[in-house]
Amino acid sequence: MQEIFHASLPRRAGIGLKPEHVRDILQTQPDIGFFEIHAENYMMAGGPMHHFLSLIRAEYPLSLHGVGLSIGGEDELDRIHLTRLKTLIDRYQPESFSEHLAWSSHDGTYYNDLLPLPYTQETLDRVCAHIDQVQDVLKRSILLENPATYLEFSASEMDEAQFITHIIQRTGCGLLLDINNLYVSGVNHGRNPSMILEAMPLDHVGEMHLAGHTVDSDSKGFPLLIDSHDGAVTHAVWLLYEQALSLTGRQATLIERDHAIPALEVLLAEAERAENYLAISQKRDCLKSKETA
Partner 1 sequence: MKSHHFSTALLDASSALPEGITSIIGSDTNARFDVYRNNVMVSLIKVLQNNYPVVTTLVGEDFFRAMAKAFALANPPRSPVMNAYGDQFAQFILKFAPAESVPYLADMARLEWQCRVAGEVADRSTMNLEAVNTLLASPEALAASRWQFHPSVSLIDSQYAIASLWLAHQHESELEIAQALAKVNPYQAEIALILRYDLNVVVKSLQTGERIFIQALMSSHSLEEALKIANREDANFDFILLMGDLFSNGAFIGYLQNGGLK
**Least distance (Å) between residue 145 CB and partner 1:** 16
State how beta strands 103-106 and 109-115 pair: antiparallel
Binding segment toward partner 1, per CB under 8 A, in 7-15, 44-52, 248-256, 263-271: 44-52
Give kind and range of the element (H or E) at residue 261.
none
Of 180 and 281, nearer to partner 1 (C-beta) is 180
3-state secondary structure of 272: helix
- From the CB of residue 72, how many other CB atoms can be counted at a distance below 10 Å? 23
Of residues 105 and 146, the one with the C-beta less far from partner 1: 105
Angstrom distance (rounded) from CA 154 to CA 161? 17
Q: Residue type for 160, please?
A: E
Nearer to partner 1, 59 or 218 (CB): 218
Which residues, 6+ apart, have CB-to-CB distance to 217 below 8 Å?
A: 223, 224
* Using rule CB under 8 A, residue 74 touches partner 1: yes
Cβ neighbour number for residue 149 with a 10 Å cutoff? 20
Does position 20 interact with partner 1 (CB under 8 A)? The reply is no
Contact pick of 48, 79, 121, 260 for partner 1 (by CB under 8 A): 48
Q: Which of residues 234-293 bind partner 1 (CB under 8 A)?
A: none
The answer to whether residues 233 and 210 touch, using CB atoms and an 8 Å cutoff, is yes
Q: How many residues bind partner 1 (CB under 8 A)?
A: 50
- Give whichever of 35 and 119 is closer to partner 1, judged by the CB atom: 119
Minimum distance of partner 1 from residue 163's CB (angstroms): 15
Q: How far is the CB of 200 from partner 1 (least distance, A)?
A: 21
Per-residue binding string, partner 1, 205-224, x by CB under 8 A, is -------------xxx-x-x
Contact 95, 132 (CB under 8 A): no
Q: Is the backbone of residue 77 left (phi > 0), alpha (psi -120 to 50) or beta? A: beta
Rg (CA), the chain: 19
Q: Which of 11, 30, 50, 202 binds partner 1 (CB under 8 A)?
A: 50
Q: Residue 257, SS3?
A: coil
Interacting residues toward partner 1 by CB under 8 A: 40-41, 43-51, 67-70, 73-74, 78, 80-81, 84, 103-113, 115, 117-118, 150-155, 188-190, 218-220, 222, 224, 226
